[in-house]
Amino acid sequence: MFDFLLGWRKASKCKRVVKQLQCRLKLLKNKKYAISSHLRHDIAQLLRIGERSRALNRAQHLFQDENLMSLYHSLLHFSDSILLHLSYIRRHRDLPDGINEAVSTLVFASTRCGDLPELRTLRLLFLERYGQPFVSTALHLLPGNRVNPQITETLSITSVSDDDRSKLLAEIAAEHGLRLQVLALEYTTDFHKQDCEDIPNLPLRFNFTKFSDISAGSPDENVFIGNRQQGGRKREGSRSG
């Protein structure tokens, strides 16, 4: 009787908890955004130097973090809907479609988001307001539930497929104007290649000895590093001729 005259007595508590939830969601969303931005930068750098395997590992973490960002954004939307329709919720026990989806989605997420304790408080409040059958239908996705499908899909992801990681790499590569198939750097210019072609019998040798180990008059004097030295030998030969 008092509910009929005064409305839902715990509507004020519900409003307060929803606002606390929104503060936490915004904080977590901003934190994940900063982490995701850093990961995207790291992945771009790894792709630039041809470290695709390491980039794929980072892409898995990025995919998970961006999924959480999407989840937090959606939960903010549904919590806004609760506040927008709180006056109706206070006076009526029935659930029109829009309100039903918002309440059901928050109830469903309450057992799957350990970093959002406010959701558990809201679940208990909605349990008192709408009864156990309604809450059980949302929690266990029973027939007739109005839980948002996108939230259901996001919270059901347990691993990241290779295809999803590859798509993420392609997206980041496109953003930075990079090619995914990064080839090994070629240190021989066309000019030096032409020099080598003119001297077909000259062996191509690379000296991997540290520069600090090469001293004047040592046997390493006769070892030429790369094609630039080969070109120099050719020019010297031309002068002597």
pLDDT per residue over 121-146, tens digit each? Answer: 999 999 999 999 999 999 999 999 99
Q: How many domains does the chain have?
A: 2
207 inside domain: yes
Q: What is the mean pLDDT of the chain?
A: 80
102 inside domain: yes
182 inside domain: no
Task: Kindly state the tokens that stand for 169.
Answer: 């790499």
What does the pLDDT look like over 34-51, one tens digit per residue? Answer: 999 999 999 999 999 989
| Mean pLDDT for the stretch of residues 57-86 | 96
User: Is the same domain home to 98 and 129?
Assistant: yes
Place of tokens 């931005």: 37
Q: What's the distance, Cα to Cα, between the start and end of the chain in Å?
A: 115
User: Is the same domain home to 147 and 205?
Assistant: no
Task: Kindly state the tokens that stand for 130.
Answer: 């709408």
The CA distance from 236 to 17, in Å, is 84
| Mean pLDDT for the stretch of residues 206-220 | 37
User: Is the same domain home to 161 and 219?
Assistant: no
The CA distance from 127 to 17, in Å, is 15
User: Is the same domain home to 169 and 202?
Assistant: no
185 inside domain: no
pLDDT of residue 62 exceeding 90, the answer is yes
Of 143, 175, 207, which residue sits at a domain end? 175
162 inside domain: yes
User: Is the same domain home to 144 and 226?
Assistant: no
Contact 7, 23 (CB under 8 A): no
CA angle in degrees (0–180, nearest 5) for 209-211-214:
80
What does the pLDDT look like over 98-113, one tens digit per residue? Answer: 999 999 999 999 999 9
What pLDDT does residue 34 have?
97
Of 123, 146, 175, which residue sits at a domain end? 175
Structural domain of residue 124, as residue ranges?
A: 2-175
Confidence of residue 206 (pLDDT cuts 50, 70, 90): very low
What does the pLDDT look like over 152-177, one tens digit per residue? Answer: 999 999 889 999 999 999 999 998 88
Q: What is the CATH number of the domain that holds 135?
A: 1.20.1260.60
Contact 59, 44 (CB under 8 A): no
What's this model's pTM, rounded to 2 decimal places? 0.71
Could you tell me which of 180, 165, 179 has the C-alpha nearest to residue 57? 165
State CA 106 to chain mean position distance.
23
The CA distance from 163 to 111, in Å, is 29
User: Is the same domain home to 150 and 105?
Assistant: yes
User: Is the same domain home to 36 and 140?
Assistant: yes
Q: Indicate the SS3 state at residue 188.
A: coil
Sign of the alpha-carbon dihedral angle for 178, 183, 188, 189: negative
206 inside domain: yes
Place of tokens 């936490």: 24
